[in-house]
Amino acid sequence: MSIKTILVTGANGEIGHGLIEHLSEYGGMHIIAMDLAPIDESVKARCHRLVTGDILDTHLLETLSTEHNFDTIYHLAALLSTRAERQPTLAHRVNVDGTLNLLEIAITQSRLQGREIKFIYPSSIAVYGLPDLETKRKAGKVKEDQWLVPRTMYGINKLYNEQLGRYYANYYRQLDAEPPKGQIDFRSVRFPGLISAVTLPTGGTSDFAPEMLHMAARNRHYECFVREDARIPFMAMPDAITALLRLQAAPHEKLTQTVYNVGAFNPSALEVFQILQKAFPNTSVKFASDYRRQAIIDSWPADVDDTAARRDWDWKPEYSLDRAFSEYLIPAIRRRYPSKA
Ligand code: SER
């Protein structure tokens, strides 16, 4: 069996942790983990090589590309939606220019190796922008091509990067006399808010649900920055990893689009609180909506239509709302904060 070489950017992030854990358990691959900060201890042992560096550093990326033949690139590094509103130009540089740099590396690799390089890209429900709550209520489950009018820098970056990926996969240098050898096989999932029992997100706007969980498990009071009725789709982290791996493995001919919604459950903030209260009776949450962050949540859909992913690559979440909390999040978080629970 030939060993595959996989590049993971944003390796220290929430998805990075879970993805590297799974990939390393499959075996048969060399994982090159890259992050701006030194790679976390828990991830280190699972990787073939650790790279501390910036995706804006093209010299570093080019050096990596001369030293390895990548089969698949999971480009996870990004500034999330709340952080991106605080530093929009930095977000644009990291999210857009950084992705462009990785796509260029992928195309260089595909030319050198004379074959397709898979490029797996997590997009987000932030690409959607519903104008008001009434429209959001009526829209229900949104399809991939509806309401693509994002109002955050992050959402705009993600939507544009989806297009950029489609361009690199299908039309790159389309005026050249000789079509470039090899190509990029770009595949993307639009994730809902993700909840992990292991890691806490940083800089996102869907963070209220995971923050509520981690604070409840630690017996800490939580000031929730959205209203009780705030509702967006969420997914347990193991399902998010499954989605990436399953999309990566899907036969090319089955894929009818480059970007897929994936959904699992969509509780209101109050429903999350009520579930937590049963598990941790001291749960203390004050819903003190920050109207600016609330407005971002209100612009994201209440649910997504993931029919295409179910049809094309057998997407199916394992964790419903009940199972996610009772079988994964609550038991795992009790183990994480044992003295409190
Ligand atoms: N979780 C992300 C955020 O809140 C959305 O993809 O920014």
Mean pLDDT by 10 residues, the chain (341 residues): 91 96 94 97 95 98 97 98 98 98 96 94 98 98 98 98 96 86 91 94 95 96 97 98 98 98 98 98 94 97 98 98 98 86 47
Pocket flag, ligand 1, residue 205 (CB < 6 Å):
yes
In the reported structure, the alpha carbon of residue 106 is separated from the centroid of ligand 1 by a whole-number distance in angstroms of 25
Residue boundaries of the structural domains of the chain: 78-336
**Distance from the CA of 180 to the center of ligand 1, in angstroms?**
35
What's the chain's length in residues?
341
Rounded Cα gap, residues 273 and 286, in angstroms: 10
Ligand 1 proximity of 265 Cβ (cutoff 6 Å): no
Give distance in angstroms: CA of 144 to centre of ligand 1.
Answer: 17
Nearest ligand 1 atom to alpha carbon 154: 7
Q: What is the pTM of this model?
A: 0.96
CB distance 196 to ligand 1 below 6 Å: no
pLDDT the model gives residue 341: 47
The answer to whether the CB of 222 falls within 8 A of the CB of 216 is yes
Spell out the residues 6+ positions from residue 82 whose beta carbon is closer than 8 angstroms to its own. 203, 204, 205, 207, 293, 296
Which CATH number is 78-336 given? Answer: 3.40.50.720
Q: How many CA atoms lie less than 13 Å away from 36 in the CB half-sphere?
A: 10
Does any ligand 1 atom lie closer than 6 A to the CB of residue 81?
yes
Q: Which atom of ligand 1 is nearest to the CA of 81?
A: 7
Confidence at residue 267, expressed as pLDDT on a 0 to 100 scale: 98
Using a 6 Å cutoff on CB, does residue 157 contact ligand 1? Answer: no
Whether 14 and 20 have beta carbons less than 8 Å apart is answered as no
- Residue 19: exposure state from Cβ atoms within 10 A (0-12, 13-18, ≥19): buried
- Residue 220 has a CB neighbour count (10 Å cut-off) of 14
What distance in angstroms lies between residue 81's CA and the mean position of ligand 1's atoms?
Answer: 6
Residue 283 Cβ inside 6 Å of ligand 1? The answer reads no
Q: Name which of 263, 267, 314 is nearest 128 in CA terms.
A: 263
Ligand 1 atom nearest the C-alpha of 83 is 7
